Chains A and B, each alone.
Chain A
Amino acid sequence: MKRLVVAYVCGLLFAVGLGISGMTHPSKVMAFLDVTGDWDPSLALVMGSGVLVNFVFFRMATRRGAPFLAPSFSLPAKTAVDASLVGGAALFGVGWGLGGFCPGPAIVSVVTGATPVVAFVVAMLLAMGVYDLMEARAASRRLLPVPGGR
């Protein structure tokens, strides 16, 4: 129960942080990415101050050995830089530059009901779902015995 309360509060604080920082405005994100135009460095400060807070607290938490409300930290298992990481990040960047939205600000902005925002979020969620379905199929095919047996 406590963990759910924390999750809710974190979601709420994160949304408010996005709003205050201005990252809920695609035009502001695009102005950061427009390095050769009328550049707005705001996003760098948003990321810098956020990373600074995380750097301090993540270290303290890791030194403590375990989180307060869970038996252990859930960290990504992968550590190698591979083609899917680079390819995925590259595709994400193109979409981010095209729409000025990354997942967080887009989901938060859905409450406006603005058509392009809703269209973005629905397309994003469907794409994620289709990707995961194809992944699951590919994984199950890998488990099947190869005809002719190798």
Chain B
Amino acid sequence: MSHFTPGAATLGGLLLGIASSLLFVANGRILGISGIVGQIPLTTGSDRSWRLVFLLGLLTGGLVLLGFDRSMLAFASEQTVPTAVAAGVLVGVGTRLGNGCTSGHGLCGIARLSRRSIVATLVFMATGALTVFVVRHVLHLGGGVS
């Protein structure tokens, strides 16, 4: 547990909660990144524009972080390009097929006590942990060195 950062984790988590609560309380929308961004090509009119503006907000936030402290973003490449592409394809297909990711299912769905979201979160946590176990402790490929 050498890298445990409880203060920053709690503060950041509260902010994630505030952002997703605000979107729900004001606009009635679930803050699920894969759904919001993934459905941009499938929507039109005002249903598309709020998604684009949200995406713009995410990127602005990225620039704010970059300007404030570069080390807040994964600037140094923490993975190889082939791994990143394989991971990206799996995340893309998986989140469309499973209707959500860590934000929509994890942060919002669990708070709504949605059975689907609770099951989804348990499943992706389990297969995520299993993948890291196989990569690091079976294949000894030791990815993710920062």
* B37 CB contact (under 8 Å) in A37, A52, A98, A107: A107
Do A42 and B116 have beta carbons less than 8 Å apart? no
Q: What is the CB-to-nearest-CB distance from A10 to chain B, in angstroms, rounded to a whole number?
A: 4
* A99 CB contact (under 8 Å) in B31, B87, B101: B87
Do A93 and B3 have beta carbons less than 8 Å apart? no
Q: What is the CB-to-nearest-CB distance from B38 to chain A, in angstroms, rounded to a whole number?
A: 4
Q: Does A140 contact B (CB under 8 A)?
A: no
Do A117 and B146 have beta carbons less than 8 Å apart? no
Bound complex: CA A21 to CA B10 (Å):
7
Interface of A: prevailing SS: helix
Supply 14 A–B pairs (Cβ within 8 Å), ascending by A: A10-B31, A17-B14, A22-B9, A42-B9, A50-B13, A58-B21, A61-B28, A69-B27, A79-B116, A80-B116, A84-B99, A96-B124, A97-B130, A112-B66
Bound complex: CA A52 to CA B74 (Å):
27
Q: What is the CB-to-nearest-CB distance from A69 to chain B, in angstroms, rounded to a whole number?
A: 5
Interface of B: prevailing SS: helix
* B79 CB contact (under 8 Å) in A28, A99, A112: A99
Residue of A nearest to B3 (CB): A40
> What are the residues of chain A within 8 A of B88 when measuring CB–CB?
95, 99, 101, 106, 119-124, 127
Bound complex: CA A89 to CA B138 (Å):
23
Contact size range, B: 35 or more
Interface residues of A in 39-65 (CB under 8 A from B): 39-43, 45-58, 60-61
Q: What is the CB-to-nearest-CB distance from B33 to chain A, in angstroms, rounded to a whole number?
A: 4
> What are the residues of chain A within 8 A of B62 when measuring CB–CB?
15, 19, 107-112
> What are the residues of chain A within 8 A of B90 when measuring CB–CB?
91-92, 94-95, 98, 127
Q: What is the CB-to-nearest-CB distance from A8 to chain B, in angstroms, rounded to a whole number?
A: 4
Do A4 and B28 have beta carbons less than 8 Å apart? no
> What are the residues of chain B within 8 A of A148 when measuring CB–CB?
none
Do A55 and B61 have beta carbons less than 8 Å apart? no
Bound complex: CA A46 to CA B146 (Å):
20
Do B106 and A9 have beta carbons less than 8 Å apart? no
Interface residues of A in 114-150 (CB under 8 A from B): 114-117, 119-129, 131-132, 135
Of residues A10, A43, A51, which shows the largest number of chain B Cβ atoms within 10 Å of its Cβ? A10
* A26 CB contact (under 8 Å) in B9, B111, B114, B144: B144
Do B144 and A30 have beta carbons less than 8 Å apart? yes
Interface residues of B in 104-124 (CB under 8 A from A): 105-108, 110-112, 114-116, 119-121, 123-124
Q: What is the CB-to-nearest-CB distance from B103 to chain A, in angstroms, rounded to a whole number?
A: 6
Bound complex: CA A103 to CA B49 (Å):
19
Residue of B nearest to A114 (CB): B77
* B102 CB contact (under 8 Å) in A30, A84, A102, A107: A102
